[in-house]
Amino acid sequence: MSDTINFDQDRLKKVTSLLVSQSRPADENSPYYELARKYNIKVDFRPFIQVDGVSYKDFRKQKVNILDHTAVIFTSRNAIDHFFRICNEGRVEVPATMKYFCISEQTANYLQKYIVIRKRKIFTGTKTAAELIELMRKHKKEKFLYPCSDVRKNDIPEFADTEEFHFTEATMYQTVSSDLSDLEDVYYDIIAFFSPSGIKSLFDNFPDFKQNNTRIAAFGPTTAKAVEDAGLKLDIQAPLPNAPSMTGALDLYIRKANNV
């Protein structure tokens, strides 16, 4: 990535409104609220995607026996919720000997909603799949179960396949497009996206969407690629060299566009 930030001068128009395609932050000190105050702009939040659980009937069609496994890999809170939901619906009593491999401490802490953490063997990374993979490598004899969405990254399954782990993938929830029909006649200067699924939702809801003067912000390379593959103009890409967050990249753009 270049160390210089070159925004398209022809599209560098004043910003008065921003739509963030995620849920409203609970933290009142969120940087998004600071952006709204700092530049006196309207910032709205709307999840473009939602998570629906796979029914127990459809889960059974995958022919996955949870108790055939000795360890479970969790990469999100959604995975935890739907794993224990499926266990409950299937009357599966997870043994105390089950081990849990969590992508982050935050994810591991969420387990206490369902189990007594201090009585279980829990292995925790610090946010990246690479670290989780290193933990798995140290426990190659485990029989891993990977509860996931129908839309997921390939890194963990590909690693497990390459190293010939005993590894089973189980789709327990699905990422689907939210109903955004009430936004049809609403215009925003910037829409911020965080995943390719968000772009898919935009066109699922508005097949004839025309970007015009709406600036598009995307977090991460896969989201940026989805923007361009959809034929949209990518105006703001995060992270930037001197702005590691979406709010940081938006701040740089708005400051320049609004000539502050």
Nearest to 196 by CA among 223, 230, 174: 223
Q: Give the structural domain span for 191.
A: 11-48+180-258
Cβ atoms 215, 237 nearer than 8 A = no
What is the pLDDT of the chain when averaged over all its residues? 90
User: Mind listing the pLDDT tens digit for each residue in 75-124?
Assistant: 889 999 999 999 999 999 999 999 999 988 888 999 999 988 887 899 98
Q: Are residues 95 and 124 in the same domain?
A: yes
Q: What is the 3-state secondary structure (H, E, C) of 4-31?
A: CCCCCHHHCCCCCEEEECCCCCCCCCCH
User: Mind listing the pLDDT tens digit for each residue in 189-222?
Assistant: 999 999 999 999 999 999 999 999 999 999 988 8
Cβ atoms 171, 149 nearer than 8 A = yes
| Structure-block tokens of residue 207 | 């097949």
What is the residue type of 168?
T
Residue 4: inside a domain, yes or no?
A: no
Residue 3: band (very low, low, confident or very high) from pLDDT cuts 50, 70, 90: very low
- What's 241's domain CATH number? 3.40.50.10090
User: Mind listing the pLDDT tens digit for each residue in 167-190?
Assistant: 899 999 998 999 999 998 889 999
- Tell me which of 142, 175, 208 is where a domain ends: 175
Residue 85: inside a domain, yes or no?
A: yes
Q: Are residues 130 and 228 in the same domain?
A: no
- Tell me which of 175, 205, 240 is where a domain ends: 175
pLDDT at 159 exceeding the cut of 80: no
Q: Are residues 147 and 118 in the same domain?
A: yes
Q: Are residues 170 and 57 in the same domain?
A: yes
Model pLDDT, residue 241: 78
Model pLDDT, residue 5: 66
Q: For the chain, how big is the Rg over CA atoms in Å?
A: 21
pLDDT at 162 exceeding the cut of 80: no
User: Mind listing the pLDDT tens digit for each residue in 28-76?
Assistant: 889 999 999 999 999 999 999 999 999 999 999 999 999 999 999 998 8
